[in-house]
A = this chain, B = another copy of it.
Amino acid sequence: MPDAKLLEVFESPTESAFVIEHIAEEFTSVCPKTGHPDFGEVTLRYQPRPANAGGTCVELKSLKLYYHSFRSEGIFYEAVTNQIRDDLVALMDPAWLQIITNWRGRGGIRSVIRADYGDIPAHFRGR
């Protein structure tokens, strides 16, 4: 089941503002209603706080293992998206952060869920 303790960070390598985006193309969880698997893509985009303000970045392999921990979890699209947002915000306390989940669909309807934290720059909103 989803386990935020799998997540690890490293210190931000710079005082400058910069933006990190990780796109996980092979996310899978389970529909709690039907028991059928769901497949989607999870995009994380965020700006770490500067190094001298205690800024941290999520370590890539730990992020992968964290995503894997949803594999047998019965959970709705909306809840997956909000939970990942909350876990990563709690982990890194970033300047801002976005989660976009893009689901391959069932029964002819595919879905995209977007959850934000903080003041997203105008040019990243809705992307």
Residues of A within 8 A of B (CB-CB), count: 53
Set of chain B residues within 8 Å of A107, measured between Cβ atoms: 36, 61, 64, 106-107
Q: In the complex, which residues 72-103 of chain A have their Cβ closer than 8 Å to any Cβ of chain B? A: 72, 76, 78-79, 81-82, 85
Would B64 and A18 count as touching, CB distance under 8 A? no
B63 touches A116 (CB 8 A): no
Taking a contact as CB atoms closer than 8 A, the residue among B14, B22, B63, B114 that contacts A19 in the complex is B114
* Chain A contacts to B: CB under 8 angstroms: 12-14, 16-26, 28, 36-37, 39, 57, 60-61, 63-64, 68, 71-72, 76, 78-79, 81-82, 85, 104-117, 121-127
5 closest Cβ pairs, A-B complex: A123-B126, A123-B125, A18-B115, A21-B112, A26-B108
